[in-house]
Amino acid sequence: MNEAQESLLNSVVRHYLESGDFNGYGVFRPDDDIEFVKALISGRKLDLVRGDGHPNPHIKAFDAEDLETQLAKINEKGLAGCLYPTPEHLEALDAGRDERAPYTKELKLGAPQLSHRSFDLRSLEWYRNDPRFEFRVDDIHGRIIQKAGTEIAGRKTVQDGLDFFEFGFAYDEEKNRAAAAFVRYLHDLPTEIQVQMKLHELEGKFLLHPDFYRTQIIGDFPERISVYDAFLEEKRHVNRMCEMIGKPRLFKTEFQNMNRPRGFGILLRPTLKEFRDFALLLDQLLSDDIDNKFFERDIDAHEKLTNAAGEEIKRPIGTIMLLENWIRLKFRPQDPEPMDKLFKDIRAVRQVRQKPAHKFEDDIFDQKFVAEQRALIIKAFDAVRTIRMILENHPQVNGYEIPDYLREAKIWTM
């Protein structure tokens, strides 16, 4: 290596480590200097990132292309893009020697900024359970934000209102779920939190959720929406249809703009207690949320019984039975199977909710609760979707537009 090459190499390394964002060293040289740079690339001291794999060559988003590809493109297109020190050269320099923050150290050693690491979901649990944080998650990606004016252990964890952590989800071959975060975002965490996250890092191959990949890597729109958001959206459209036919809303509550009740989402820890808590919340959002006022003037909300003294008494009819009585009175489909399934699904949610009331249960940890939760939310979604399709048969609802993602059930159930 001659003096000019060593000077360039040192400039690239210094710029990468001292730029603050691990930026590349912009380069554009005349043809007579191409061999000068090619020698450093061939010697595995530098990599050239052109910006054709990621639109911004000033960050190394992904691993650099292999040596042969880099050299072939230089021969074909000349020098253009940014130079980076190779991981081999940074390792030889021991660039991360004094760095305690593990993910900052990875960047100092040349890790791609948009490479991801996967973590046990317990790494998010503390923030989910602490009301001093806003825990926003849609089962594809999420964000943890510290609420303004809060302190932890007598000190501010982050500046008020600053995004604390952005993450997504990933899955292994057996569909086990993990939290996922890009090394660049992990680098933004305080040193001690990076150390804690490292303790929860998982080994093995985890692939990013397809829509997390689409939105964060490709920059495209999501392909589908979460089944949890779809469930809440279907309820909202049901209420709009009720208004169009001149009746009170069927459901008492609505959640708009993909906002959810706290705890309405995937299980971070697959335990019996978390599953039971979810089933309770789901039933509260489904059968408990049905408003008796919807049925007024159409059907009797009470059944007549006789007590032990022979006196006639009235007992309120439950919301599930009220809904069934009303639908069977108003709609007579040629195929009754979807309608029968509707009430079967609603009662399945109620049944899971009621189980703890009949016996004491020790809490247990079991991955089966992930699958059981998925099956339960699908039943609830199918139920409200069927209610919406039933109401669409009403002549006063003619022309009401349902978004394509709901019409075609483009949802993620994982």
Instruction: Report pLDDT digits (tens) over 155-165.
Output: 555 543 345 78
pLDDT confidence of residue 27:
85
Mean pLDDT of 136-142: 84
pLDDT confidence of residue 72:
95
Digit-coded pLDDT (tens) for 21-42: 999 999 876 555 788 899 999 9
Please tell me the pTM assigned to this model: 0.80
In this prediction, residue 135 has a pLDDT band, given cuts at 50, 70 and 90, of confident
Residue 336 lies in a domain: yes
- How far out from the chain centre does Cα 255 lie? 18
Q: How far apart are CA 377 and CA 252, in angstroms?
A: 19
Q: How far apart are CA 317 and CA 41, in angstroms?
A: 78
Among 183, 202, 221, the domain boundary falls at 221
Q: How far apart are CA 327 and CA 242, in angstroms?
A: 13
Number of domains in the chain: 3
Residue 360 pLDDT exceeds 70 = no
Q: Are 113 and 22 in contact (CB under 8 A)?
A: yes
Q: Give the best-scoring range by mean pLDDT among 191-195, 232-236, 362-366.
A: 232-236
Read off the DSSP letter of residue 20.
S
Average pLDDT, the chain: 89
Do both 140 and 267 map to the same domain? no
Do both 24 and 63 map to the same domain? yes
pLDDT confidence of residue 272:
92
Neighbouring-strand partners of residue 64:
none
Do both 248 and 337 map to the same domain? yes
Do both 193 and 288 map to the same domain? no
Residue 108 lies in a domain: no
Decide which of 304 and 216 is more confident: 216
Mean pLDDT of 215-224: 84
Give all strands (DSSP E) within 70-111, no chain letters.
81-85
Residue 111 lies in a domain: no
Residue 334 lies in a domain: yes
Q: Which of 89, 92, 109 is nearest to 42 (CA)?
A: 89
Mean pLDDT of 352-372: 79
Q: What percent of the chain has pLDDT over 90?
A: 59
Do both 197 and 280 map to the same domain? no
Residue 104 lies in a domain: no
pLDDT confidence of residue 259:
81
Do both 69 and 208 map to the same domain? no
Do both 239 and 376 map to the same domain? yes
Residue 365 pLDDT exceeds 90 = no
Sequence-separated (6 or more) residues with CB below 8 Å from residue 35: none
Digit-coded pLDDT (tens) for 265-307: 888 888 999 999 999 999 999 999 999 999 998 998 888 777 7
Mean pLDDT of 110-139: 88
Do both 176 and 43 map to the same domain? no
CA gyration radius for the chain?
A: 29
Residue 60 lies in a domain: yes
Q: How far apart are CA 119 and CA 170, in angstroms?
A: 9
Do both 141 and 289 map to the same domain? no
What backbone torsions phi and psi does residue 252 show, to the nearest 5 degrees?
-75, -35
Q: How far apart are CA 16 and CA 23, in angstroms?
A: 5
In this prediction, residue 192 has a pLDDT band, given cuts at 50, 70 and 90, of confident
Do both 85 and 18 map to the same domain? yes
pLDDT confidence of residue 65:
95
**Which residue range is the domain that position 26 belongs to?**
3-95
Do both 213 and 241 map to the same domain? no
In this prediction, residue 315 has a pLDDT band, given cuts at 50, 70 and 90, of confident
Residue 357 pLDDT exceeds 60 = no
Which two three-digit tokens encode residue 292? 């008796």
Residue 44 lies in a domain: yes
Residue 334 pLDDT exceeds 60 = yes
Among 95, 130, 159, the domain boundary falls at 95
Residue 193 lies in a domain: yes
Mean pLDDT of 329-357: 87
Decide which of 302 and 17 is more confident: 17
Do both 318 and 354 map to the same domain? yes
In this prediction, residue 151 has a pLDDT band, given cuts at 50, 70 and 90, of low
Q: Are 146 and 158 in contact (CB under 8 A)?
A: yes
In this prediction, residue 153 has a pLDDT band, given cuts at 50, 70 and 90, of low
Which two three-digit tokens encode residue 111? 């890790």
Q: How far apart are CA 236 and CA 254, in angstroms?
A: 6
pLDDT confidence of residue 290:
97
Q: Region of 257 please: left (phi>0), alpha (psi -120 to 50) or beta.
A: left
